[in-house]
Amino acid sequence: MTNTWLIASNNRGKSQDLAACLAYYGLTAVQYTDVADRLTFPAETTTSYVDNAVIKAQYAAQHLQRAVIADDSGIELPALPAAYGVTTARDLGVAVSGYDRNQALLAALADTPLANRQATMRATLAAAWPDGTVVTAQATIQGYLARHQIGQYSGGFDRLFWLPRFGRTLAELPDSWRLPLTHRGQAAAQLCQQLQLKKG
């Protein structure tokens, strides 16, 4: 199989989070730019998380001639049905910082009561090899969007994503609690299980 996987992303924060999720389940991964020159990935033009992740993973695996893992994720908001979801990065802009993205989201929901601030975060992971083989995994987490950013253990949407059963945002939970709960963490668990079966 492979000892160290490369994460096919130019987003340092997302790569670090995914690496932590994979490490939680025993898989070692690093951002591909740690070992290779920066790639220009194909533009995301589909409305499918799976297609976006697979296209990115296969592109990187072919160019790097290494086994890679790619992620496509987004946040889905019933209160804003025409925005976000699979186009989250496109709607908010990939060059905008996580803090500013969250502020834009809070502004869009400024007049929405908490009861109507339901949210789902969805992640799809695709592992690809240079020969074109692909394995995928998907997972979601459901909660509400808080009215303010809070939490020091992680960034991005975790600082807004409030879980009623904990009474905290994801970013207020240490990694030992947070990683198995997140959409990306759950997808990483499924992917690692599939890769172990494939290896066996």
- Domains for the chain: give ranges and CATH numbers: 4-199 (3.90.950.10)
Query: Strand (E) positions, 103-167?
Result: 118-128, 134-145, 161-163
Q: How far apart are alpha carbons 173 and 143 in whole angstroms?
A: 14
Percent of the chain with pLDDT over 70: 92
pLDDT digits (tens, 9 = 90+) for 106-115: 999 999 998 8
Residue 183 confidence class, pLDDT cut points 50, 70, 90: very high
Residue 72 confidence class, pLDDT cut points 50, 70, 90: very high
Please determine, for residue 97, whether its predicted confidence score (pLDDT) is greater than 60: no
Q: Is the pTM of this model over 0.75?
A: yes
Task: Give Rg (Cα) of the chain.
Answer: 17
Which residue in 17, 51, 71, 72 is the catalytic one? 72
Per-residue pLDDT at 199: 77
Report yes or no: 116 and 80 within 8 Å, Cβ to Cβ: no
Which of these ranges, 14-28, 74-88, 159-173, has the smallest mean pLDDT?
74-88
Q: Is 17 a catalytic residue?
A: no
Please determine, for residue 134, whether its predicted confidence score (pLDDT) is greater than 50: yes
Sheet arrangement for strand 161-163: 28-31, 4-7, 68-76, 118-128, 134-145, 161-163, 168-169
Q: Using DSSP, how many helices (H) and how many strands (E) does the chain show?
A: 6, 7
Q: How far apart are alpha carbons 167 and 156 in whole angstroms?
A: 18
Report yes or no: 98 and 171 within 8 Å, Cβ to Cβ: no
- Phi, psi at residue 98, to the nearest 5°? -55, -40
Per-residue pLDDT at 94: 47
